[in-house]
Each structure stands twice: as C-alpha cells, then as structure tokens.
Amino acid sequence: MQPGQGNDEQGEGVSPFLAILGSPAARFLYRRLSQAVVVMLVVVVGSFVLLQFAPGDMVDVLAGEADLTAEQMADLRARYGLDQPWPVQLLAYMGRLASFDLGYSPKLAAPVLDVLLQRMPVTLTLVALSVVISLSVGSFLGVMAARRAGSLLDMTISTATLILYATPGFVVALGLIFFLSVKMRWLPTAGLTTVGADLRGMAWLVDVARHLVMPVLALCTSYMAIYARLCRATMLEITSLDYIRTAWAKGLPERRVIFTHAFRNALLPLVTMAGLQVSALLGGAVVVETLFGLQGMGRTAFDAVMERDVNMLLGVLFVCSFAVVIVNICIDLLYVWLDPRVKVAA
C-alpha cells in the first residue's frame, strides 16, 4: 500500500463514515478481531490434531455400545469420512467451516449447530448469573471488610472466604444437593426445568430459577471468595492514597469516598478477574454441569471427547473460543470506561 492511501489516513474529503472506520477504536476492533480469527484457527486445528492422537474413533465407540459388524463399521467410517487420512479430514472440516457449516454429530443424531444453539443458552445463563452474583456479593464483602480492617467483621469475612475458597465446587454442589434437595426438599435436584410440566410465563421463570439456585451457587462460591479478598486488598491499598485523603478532607460523606472514589479504582483488578472467570466457566463447568444434569458447553465437550465426536468437540471449542475472544474485547473496553487514563491502542 502506498503512503497516503487507505482509510487509516484521516485526510480531508474522507466521509464521516470512513472517519469512524479509521478511528483508533475501530482499528482496535479490527486488530482484535483478526487476532481472534488466528486464535480460533489455532484452537480448531490444535484440538483436531490432539484428538487424532487419542486411540479409537467415533465408530469404535458406537460399535462398542451397539455390537456393530465389520461391514457396518466400515460403512459408518465411509459415511462420515473417517476412513480418510486426517489431513484430508481436517481440510474438509476447514472447508465446511469457511461456509459456517459446523457439520453433523452422529452421536447426537443432529447438526452440531442445532445442538450448540440449544445448549449455549444454558451455559450463558449459568455464566452470567454466577459472574454477576459472585462479583457483586464478593466485592461488597471485600469493601465491608476493608472498611474496618482488623475488626470482628473483617475477621469473619476473611475466615469465611478462606473456607469457601478452599472448598472445591463439587463438594459444595453435593452438599447443596444433600441438604437442600434430599433433606429439606426445598429445591429440585437436577435439570433446567421440570420435565413435562409445560409451564409458561412467570411459572416457567420461577421453575427455571429454582433449578438454577444450586448450580449457580456451586459455581459462585470460590470466585466470590476470590473477589472478596482481592477487593479487600485493593481497597486497603487505595484508601491510603493521597486522593482519598483529599476526598476525606473535603468533608465528603463516607459512602461517596468509598464507592465513588475508591471502589471505582478497585474495580480494575476485579474486572480482570471476572474476564478470567467468564473464560473459565464457558467451557469448564463440567463437574457442576454433570452433577446438576445440565447440558452446557463443558459437559458437551467432555462427552464429545469420550465419544470421539470430532465435529461436536470442534463446534464447542470454536464457539467457546469465539466467546472468550469477545469477552476479552469487552473487558478491554470496560477498562477504558472505568479508567479514563487507559486508551485503546490502535
């Protein structure tokens, strides 16, 4: 490209529309999105190759479950292209991917896209609820603890969060099931809705909420503890800074000093952590999903590996890596909004 050409020059005669496209924010997005394409390619190719190292293919699994004959197995391998060398299979997959065709899952007898569209909302709901709840409760506890450092309240919160942090999610999950479902009969044990109840409107919403209480709690606890401790430490550091002393000196009420001045800055590390939590939960809530009978992305990916269902696994990884990239872009933009000193780099 010759100098002075292209839309990265904001010269005269360029329309406002092109000016927006050439703005630093837009260039930031181009850059991040093109990185995203590379990341997703690496994820797809990498996991495809990794799965080739695992012995046995999908037909071996199907055959083991349903007594297939040699002819039937050969027939299935030919039908799904598994008799081809793996580079050919990978190329064929990439070709289909270029036209947004994620393929077919023989194990689930459905197109991968349909399965993803049906299961993605489960995961997104779980992730969104647990991030919002753990972040808000955790930071609230952190602020409370930092406010009176060394007090009984601080000690209680610190001890409680330490215990929560040290308790694995599956123990929390089993404990919740045992206590809230089996003993008290307050909440349904598993699933997302009452199967076969055909509820509508508010009744449906309440039903789903009741089903989500325990899984969300199980996903929340350890992150809540992390947020609380992180928030406490940052708040203690910030409240010793000069500008906070200035705020006190101005005679501002405590609420404004803490929430408007200190907490806004304390949010930055919390937001970083939230980005990690979202990324970890998108595909990594296998244990909680399994215990509560929820078919989210994690469980789907796990089953796909066990069943050597390549299309399904790559579909999950493709969608999840895309979501992680988007979340990271959002987090970066959130920094800019939270801290005016941060600028997007073009």
Partner 1 sequence: MKSHMMLHRRTVLAGLIATSLTPYFVAVARATEAQRGGTVTFVAWPGATVLNAAVTTAGPSTLVSSKLFDGLLDYDFGFVPRPQLAESWEVSEDGLRMTFRLRPDVKWHDGAPLTAADVKYSMMEVWKVHNARGRNVFAEVTDVETPDDLTVVFVMSRPSPVIIKALSAMDSPVLPAHLYEGTDPLTNPHNTAPVGTGPFKFVSFVPDESVVLERFDGYWQQDRPYLDRMIIRYIGDGATRTAMLETGEADLVASNGIPSLEIDRFRSMDGFEVNPDGYENVCIVCQLDFNLDVPELQDPRVRKAIAMVIDKEWLVRNVFFGLGVPATGPIHHQVAEYYTTDGVPSYPLDLAAAEALLDEAGFPRKADGVRLELSIDPQAFGEEPLRAAEYLREQLRTVGITLTVRNQDFATYVKRVYTDRDFQLNIFVAGAGADPTIGTQRFYWSKAFQPGVSFSNSTHYSNPRVDELLEATQVEMDPERRREQFAEFQKLVMEDLPTVPLVSTIRVTVANAEVRDYVSGAIGVFGGMANAWRA
- Residue number, 72 or 125, with CB nearest to partner 1: 72
CB of 13 to partner 1, least distance (A): 58
In the block, tokens 């990594």 appear at 284
Apex CA 179: angle with CA 177 and CA 182, to 5°? 70
Q: Which is nearer to partner 1, 80 or 227 (CB)?
A: 80
Of 101 and 332, which CB lies nearer to partner 1 in the complex structure?
101
d(CA 331, CA 33): 14
The distance of closest approach from Cβ of residue 182 to partner 1 in the complex, given in angstroms and rounded to an integer, is 5
Name, in order, each residue with C-beta under 8 angstroms of 240's C-beta and a sequence gap of 6 or more: none
CA dist 109 and 119 (Å) reads: 15
Q: Which is nearer to partner 1, 60 or 101 (CB)?
A: 60
Nearer to partner 1, 219 or 273 (CB): 219
Q: How far is the CB of 193 from partner 1 (least distance, A)?
A: 9
Give the residues lining the site for partner 1 (CB under 8 A).
Answer: 54-58, 60-61, 63-70, 72-73, 107-110, 115, 118, 174, 177-178, 181-182, 185, 188-192, 195-196, 290-293, 295, 299, 303, 306-308
Please, are residues 305 and 58 in contact by the beta-carbon 8 Å criterion? no
Q: Give alpha helix (H) positions in the chain.
A: 16-21, 24-53, 58-66, 70-79, 86-98, 112-147, 152-166, 169-176, 201-238, 242-249, 254-255, 264-284, 286-291, 297-306, 310-338
Closest contact distance (angstroms) between CB of 108 and partner 1 is: 5
Calculate the CA 82 to chain-centre distance.
32
* Residue 62 CB, nearest approach to partner 1 (Å): 8
